[in-house]
C-alpha cells in the first residue's frame, strides 16, 4: 500500500493540464519566420511562449480560459477542461432538459447558483467557445444559443472578452452566409426558463459535484501507478525527440523538402454543418468576412515562382499544378479556399513578399471542392515542385 508521500508524488505526476499542445501542427514551430502568435496574443495570463521553433504553455500560469484554442488556426492546441467531446455531451443533455434551448454559462456565473444546473452547460470562460460547436448546434436544429456571462470587468478572465466577441461574430457570419435565422446571444442573466426555482437545488448540485469528485480519489490513485509509468515512457520519447533535428521532428522528407501536411478538420466540420443549414449552391450571402477560411492574392510581377508558399502551406491549400499556362514566363498553382486556415504562413515564407492572405471569401467557392488556379511566375531556377521534368 503506497504511503502518503507516494500518493502526493503520484498526484503531482498526474497534474492535469488545461491545454495540451500538438507542436507539429503549430506554424510557428514549422517555420521560424511565421508571424502567427494568435494564441499568445489571446492568452490573458502570458502563459504561452513561442520561440526557436518551440511552443510551450506554462501550466502553472494558465487559467484555462480556452481563448487560445478558439483562435489557433491549425488546432495545435487541444482543450482538456472540458474536452470537446465532454462539452458536446453536456450541451446535448442540457439542451434537451431546457426544451431545445442551448445555454452555456461561464463558471463565475454558474457559481451564483441562479441557473438550473440541469439546463445549462458550463465552461471556465466563454473564451472556450469555438465556431465549430456553435454552427454544429444550429445544423442540428437548435434555434437559439444563449451564452451567459457577466461582470467581466472584474473577472480574472476579462482579457478574453475580445476573443469571445470575435468568435460570436464569426459564427454569426457563417450562419448568415447560409441564410440561417438562428440566434446566438450573449447575456449577463440566465433566461427565465433556465433559472432555478429552488435555490437549494443549485447549491445541492454543486455540493454533489464536489463529493462525487472527491469520491473518485481512491480510484484515481489506484490508476496512478500505471499512468505514471506511461508518463515516464512519454518523457523518454520526448527526450529522444529533443535529440532529433527539427526536420526529423516534423517528418520532412528529402528531395524538395515539402513539409508534411495536416487536415483542416475544423474547416471540414464547419463546411459540413453549413451545408446542412442552407443550400451550398445558393448561399444567402455571396461573400463573407471570416477568420476561419482565407483567400490568397499573388502579385505576379513580384513572384519568382520559388514555391516556398507551397512548400510550407500546412494544410495543402496551396499546391503545385500540372496545368500549363498559355503565356511564356507564367505558371499556375492550385488553391483550395476550403482548406485555407488563414495562418498566413504562405505570406511569411514568401521570399518576394508577393502573397497576401485575405479574410474575405466567396461563399460558393467554399463548397466548390475543385481547386482554383492561381497565376504565378514560372520558376527560373527549375524548382522541383513546379518543374514537371524533375
Q: Do 65 and 137 reside in the same domain of the chain? A: no
51: domain CATH number is 3.30.70.20
pLDDT of residue 198: 65
Whether residues 57 and 157 fall in one domain:
no
**What pLDDT does residue 386 have?**
46
Quick one: 90 and 210 in the same domain?
yes
- Which tens digit of pLDDT belongs to each residue from 146-198? 999 977 778 878 888 888 999 999 999 999 999 999 999 999 999 999 998 76
Predicted model pTM: 0.80
Which domain does 336 fall in, by range? 282-377
Q: Which backbone phi and psi does 57 adopt, to 5 degrees?
A: -120, 125
Tell me: the pLDDT tens digits for 184-237? 999 999 999 999 876 555 555 544 443 334 334 333 443 444 444 444 444 544
Residue 97 is assigned to a structural domain of this protein:
yes
pLDDT tens-digit map of 258-299: 678 899 999 999 999 999 999 999 999 999 999 999 999 999
Q: Judge whether 237 lies within some domain.
A: no
Q: What percent of the chain lies above the pLDDT cut of 70?
A: 77
| Structure confidence at residue 50 (pLDDT) | 94
What pLDDT is recorded for position 16?
60
Q: Are 96 and 161 in the same domain?
A: yes
Higher-confidence residue of 50 and 206: namely 50
- Asked if residue 110 and residue 201 are part of one domain, the reply reads yes
User: Over 60: is that where the pLDDT of 107 sits?
Assistant: yes
Q: How many domains, the chain?
A: 3
How large a percentage of the chain has pLDDT more than 90?
64
pLDDT at 308 over 80: yes
- Inside any domain, residue 98: yes
Q: Is-contact 387 325, C-beta < 8 A? A: no
If asked whether residues 160 and 58 sit together in one domain, one would say: no
Residue 12 CB neighbour total at 10 angstroms: 9
- Residues 321-326: what's their mean pLDDT? 91
Inside any domain, residue 88: yes
Query: Mean pLDDT in the chain?
Result: 82
177, 247, 374 from 315: Cα distances, Å: 24, 17, 17
Amino acid at each position: 500500500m503506497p504511503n502518503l508521500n507516494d500518493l502526493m508524488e503520484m498526484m503531482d505526476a498526474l497534474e492535469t493540464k488545461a491545454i495540451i499542445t500538438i507542436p507539429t501542427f503549430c506554424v510557428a514551430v514549422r517555420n521560424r519566420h511565421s508571424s502567427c502568435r494568435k494564441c499568445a496574443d489571446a492568452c490573458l495570463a502570458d502563459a504561452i511562449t513561442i520561440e526557436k521553433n518551440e511552443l510551450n504553455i506554462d501550466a502553472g500560469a494558465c487559467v484555462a480560459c480556452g481563448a487560445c484554442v478558439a483562435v489557433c488556426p491549425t488546432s495545435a492546441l487541444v482543450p482538456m477542461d472540458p474536452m470537446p467531446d465532454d462539452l458536446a455531451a453536456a450541451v446535448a443533455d442540457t439542451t434537451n432538459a431546457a426544451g431545445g434551448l442551448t445555454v452555456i454559462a461561464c463558471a463565475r456565473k454558474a457559481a451564483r447558483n441562479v441557473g438550473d444546473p440541469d439546463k445549462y452547460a458550463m465552461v471556465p470562460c466563454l473564451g472556450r467557445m469555438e465556431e465549430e460547436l456553435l454552427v454544429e448546434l444550429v445544423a442540428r436544429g437548435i434555434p437559439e444559443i444563449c451564452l451567459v456571462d457577466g461582470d467581466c470587468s472584474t473577472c480574472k478572465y476579462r482579457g478574453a472578452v475580445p476573443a469571445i466577441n470575435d468568435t460570436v461574430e464569426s459564427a454569426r457570419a457563417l450562419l448568415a452566409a447560409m441564410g440561417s435565422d438562428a440566434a446566438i446571444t450573449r447575456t449577463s442573466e440566465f433566461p427565465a426558463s433556465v433559472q432555478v426555482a429552488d435555490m437549494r437545488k443549485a447549491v445541492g448540485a454543486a455540493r454533489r459535484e464536489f463529493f462525487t469528485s472527491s469520491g473518485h480519489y481512491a480510484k484515481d490513485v489506484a490508476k496512478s501507478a500505471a499512468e505514471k509509468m506511461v508518463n515516464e515512457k512519454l518523457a523518454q520519447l520526448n527526450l529522444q525527440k529533443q535529440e532529433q533535428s527539427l526536420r526529423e521532428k516534423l517528418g520532412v522528407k528529402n528531395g524538395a523538402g515539402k513539409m508534411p501536411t495536416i487536415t483542416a478538420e475544423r474547416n471540414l466540420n464547419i463546411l459540413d454543418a453549413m451545408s446542412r443549414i442552407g443550400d451550398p449552391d445558393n448561399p444567402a450571402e455571396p461573400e463573407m468576412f471570416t477568420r476561419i477560411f482565407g483567400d490568397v492574392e499573388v502579385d505576379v510581377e513580384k513572384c519568382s515562382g520559388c514555391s516556398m508558399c507551397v512548400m510550407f502551406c500546412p494544410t495543402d491549400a496551396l499546391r503545385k499544378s500540372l496545368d500549363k499556362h498559355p503565356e511564356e514566363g507564367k505558371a499556375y498553382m492550385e488553391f483550395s479556399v476550403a482548406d485555407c486556415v488563414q495562418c498566413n504562413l504562405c505570406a511569411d515564407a514568401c521570399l518576394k513578399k508577393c502573397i497576401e492572405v485575405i479574410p474575405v471569401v466567396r461563399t460558393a467557392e467554399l463548397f466548390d471542392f475543385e481547386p482554383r488556379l492561381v497565376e504565378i511566375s514560372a520558376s527560373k531556377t527549375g524548382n522541383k515542385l513546379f518543374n514537371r521534368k524533375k
